Chain A
Amino acid sequence: VNDEDAGWGPLYALVMAVFAVEVALFAWLTWSLS
């Protein structure tokens, strides 16, 4: 791992966390409005 590759884990995790929240929200919208 180069220096410039270090420390990116949290940001990658954030991107996936945002995605997970979006999917949860979409699932809720689908479930509650359909």
Chain B
Amino acid sequence: VTVLDWLVLVFTIVGIAAYGTWQTRNSSAAGYLRGESLRWPTIGLSIMATQASAITFLSVPGQAYDDGMRFIQMYFGLPLATILVSVFFVPIYHRLKVFTAYEYLERRFDVRVRVLAATLFLIGRGLAAGITIYAPAILLSSVLGWSLYTLNAVLGGVVIVYTVTGGAAAVAQTQKQQMAVILAGLAVAGVIIAAKLPDGVGVVDAARLAGAAGRMNVVDFSFDPNSRYTFWSGITGGLFLQLSYFGTDQSQVQRYLGGASTRESRLGLLFNGILKIPMQFSILFIGLLVFVFYLFEKPPVFFDQATLQRVEASEHRGELQALQAGWDEAFLERKARAQALVDADSDVNRAALRTADARVSELRGEARALVERAVPGASTKDGDFIFVSFVLAELPSGIVGLLLAVILLASMSSTASELSSLGATSALDLYKRLVHPTATDRHLRRAGQLLTVGWGLVALSFATFASLVDNLIQAVNILGSVFYGVILGIFLVGFTLPRVGGTATFVAALLAEAVVVTLYFRSDIGFLWFNAIGCALVIGLAVVAQLILGRRPAGGET
């Protein structure tokens, strides 16, 4: 990391935060709590920036490197989810002029259901906010040798300053510029990596090489329930995940509630419905380009260098050296096979590359096993280190700073949405509703600020004291899934079953949450399905509970 990198890094991070803070320093209470009069490009970018966290840029290319493109199928439910949210959720939220998604639940059911859903959101999102800061910070502190505490404090501190000062308005304002830097950084990275491929290897060759090595597995139409990412799990389980995320998670709902009209909110959502999959495809494809680059340049056998050094310093050093010798050989063999395939594309050459790559993967597996033996307790999952170590080792000065900025801005933009929505939800759904119903706008804005600071400190403490979670991206998704399905179920009962009342829904939600948490601890069901299960349980149990409680006149806000 050079002086130029530092300049780029500090300029983008501090500059954007300072500009956003300045622009929105006098935001109204409404602007503070949910944004105000936003146009669709702002909403669209804000939604995108919220969903794309640093984990996206750290984990996803690594996922493509090891596992290929199939992760993209996780997002196959997203286009339909944005449409369903536009059709069913947006008009209701706008008509009722709510500030949080959970406010609707009181109009439709009662205050208990509202407070329950808000509380589930606060717990789930409050924990996730810690991970959003922690995940990239622990990685970057290890790779760059920066202090984890300083990194946490600086990043968290900057986010807290602008989120607390300008609230949702500042979040939307900063996310526009953050997203511009992120997209530009990705484009630059893609072009430079493609240019770094050996002479005679273009992007098309790269795709062919990746395909021959089994990485071009973009869609899988098989019905194999053991395969985590298939077309079918994407459009079913993935749909529930995205629907609950965009429809009921205040960190997303807050992004489009401030739309100037239903039209602006819908267009902002549909913008993501169209662009999200191409964006994820690009990030995965960058991971594939890194993979192809390392077909010709020798990669480390294990990408987490700090842990590898600990193996070197241990009594297992000899084993590591033996492994390295085999690694050098396997790399040269695979390189020769890759070159042969570039020279002549034939089934024989493709099969030879696949065999050579299988040997390399096998040695990577052995390296992980060695790490596990030599450094007990260390994470053996080095996938999250692949992209950032590539950036640091191979990209030119200035661009390194730009890509570090991309990762840090992504972390900040997601954290900002989370903190702002946590602050607004606790201020409105809990504080105003339960403690101080007559609070003035001024008072509420101040309460929102204090609560946002509080959530910021909670997230920061979590980020500082948590120990490394095995797989970062999954940890966040799992946390969400344990609560999301139930919250979505409550909303769907509200929209579609006018005869089911608050008591039945409240009881059903509590039971369903208990079942989902039990399943989480006691079963090996994939986390993607918790959403569908939680949602279906709430709906089913609410109907049964209402039948037991007796008929209720149809009505309520739908």
> Which residues on A are within 8 Å of B, measured CB to CB?
2, 4-5, 8, 11-12, 14-16, 18-19, 22-23, 26-27, 29-30, 32-34
Contacts and interface: CB of A to CB of B under 8 A. Distances in A.
Contact of B261 (A4, A8, A16, A18): A4
A2 B504 CA distance: 30
B277 A8 contact: no
A30 B270 contact: no
Interface stretch (B77-85, B367-375, B439-447): B77-85
B278 interface: yes
B132 interface: no
Contacts of B80: 16, 19
Q: Report whether over half of chain B's contact residues are helix, strand or loop; otherwise say mixed.
A: helix
B274 interface: yes
B211 A22 contact: no
Contacts of A30: 216-220
A24 to B, nearest CB: 9
Contacts of A26: 69, 72, 218-219, 281
Q: Which of B72, B212, B273 has the most CB of A within 10 A?
A: B273
Interface residues of B, number: 33
15 contacts: A2-B91, A4-B91, A4-B263, A5-B262, A8-B86, A11-B270, A14-B274, A19-B79, A26-B218, A26-B219, A27-B218, A32-B211, A33-B208, A33-B210, A33-B212
A32 B210 CA distance: 12
Interface in B54-107: 69, 72, 76, 79-80, 82-83, 86-87, 91
Residue from the set B72, B91, B219, B278 with the largest chain A CB neighbour count within 10 Å: B219
Contact of B216 (A19, A22, A34): A34
Contacts of B190: none
Interface string B221-264: 10000000001000000000000000000000000000001110
A18 B274 contact: yes
Given A8-B86, A15-B270, A19-B277, A29 B91 contact: no
B79 A15 contact: yes
B271 to A, nearest CB: 10
B230 to A, nearest CB: 12
The 4 A-B residue pairs with the shortest CB-CB distance in the complex, in nearest-first order = A33-B211, A26-B218, A33-B216, A19-B79
B207 interface: yes
Given A12-B86, A30-B217, 10 more contacts: A4-B263, A5-B91, A11-B270, A22-B281, A27-B218, A27-B219, A29-B211, A30-B218, A33-B211, A34-B214
A18 to B, nearest CB: 5
B511 to A, nearest CB: 35
A27 B274 CA distance: 18
A23 B219 contact: yes
B266 interface: yes
A29 B218 CA distance: 7
Nearest to B231: A23
Contacts of B208: 33
A29 to B, nearest CB: 5
Nearest to B72: A26
Nearest to A7: B263
A32 B212 CA distance: 10
B288 to A, nearest CB: 11
Contacts of B217: 30, 34
